[in-house]
Chain A
């Protein structure tokens, strides 16, 4: 079975400082991994995805994530936080190999950006 763990439920950073949101996964298959962002009263927007190509994945709005198989991690980073980055972020693993194409969601990390 596949699973995903977001290690922090809340993260606070100052504007202009780096962002690190941590995600560990468990998978019996070669996983597809995603990060989504959810702003208040909005749906989930795809930030980036990993699907067994380059291990360093670049996404929208300056975010990137690195797939580390040895550490079973897929942490999300951004060099410099902006006020507009304040939102909830979800790490997702795709349930590949079972034919169901289901997503397994982490419980989310709420990012707060301080002025």
Chain B
């Protein structure tokens, strides 16, 4: 089984709909991250969390919200989806200490019509 699991893997929806992307992990890591990937732009950070009571905005948080339901679960919501939120979304986790690598899920491909 994958250490970082994202659901759904693909989603097509319409403008104005509310969407939730889910991420769960079995690595026991406290730090979790949500990114979006757009062609030619690399990955950009949306939100991150260091524990259940800690939520922080990344560089592109407008139009998104998150919920850290448990250490292992971190959900990303689009309250009212718009077409320019069409992208590939990744969840990642990181262990404690300096210089740790991040561990990524396989991504959610989201298309908003």
Is B31's CB under 8 angstroms from A105's CB? no
Check if B99 sits within 8 Å of A43, measured CB to CB: no
Evaluate contact between A43 and B41: CB separation under 8 angstroms. no
How many angstroms from the CA of A100 to the CA of B50 in the assembled complex?
A: 9
Closest to B2 in A: A43
Residues in A neighbouring B58, C-beta threshold 8 A? 102
Q: Does A107 belong to the interface (CB within 8 Å)?
A: yes
B104 & A43 in contact (Cβ 8 Å cutoff) = yes
- Could you tell me the dominant secondary structure of chain A's interface residues? loop
Verify if B22 is at the interface (C-beta below 8 Å from A). no
Tell me if B106 and A43 are in contact (CB < 8 A). yes
Cβ-neighbour of A43 out of B31, B56, B94, B105 (below 8 A): B105
Residue pair A108, B98 in contact (C-beta under 8 Å): no
| Pair B40/A9 contact, Cβ less than 8 Å | yes
The interface bits of chain A over 40-67 (1 if a CB of B lies within 8 angstroms of the residue's CB, else 0) are 0111111001011000000000000000
Please tell me if the beta carbons of A43 and B42 are within 8 angstroms of each other in the complex. Answer: no
The number of chain A residues touching the other chain, given as a range, is 20 to 34
Contact in complex: B99, A32 (CB < 8 Å) = yes
B34 at the interface (CB under 8 A from A): no
Residue among A41, A43, A108 having the largest count of chain B Cβ atoms under 10 Å? A43
Give the Cβ gap from B86 to chain A, nearest Cβ, in Å.
Answer: 16
CB <8 Å contact, A105 and B98: no
Given that A44-B104, A107-B40 are known contacts, is A94 also in contact with B45, CB under 8 Å in the complex? Answer: no
26 contacts between A and B (CB under 8 A): A9-B40, A32-B99, A43-B4, A43-B90, A43-B107, A44-B90, A44-B104, A45-B104, A49-B99, A49-B101, A51-B99, A52-B99, A90-B43, A94-B98, A94-B99, A96-B99, A100-B56, A101-B94, A102-B33, A103-B33, A103-B43, A103-B45, A105-B44, A107-B40, A107-B41, A108-B40
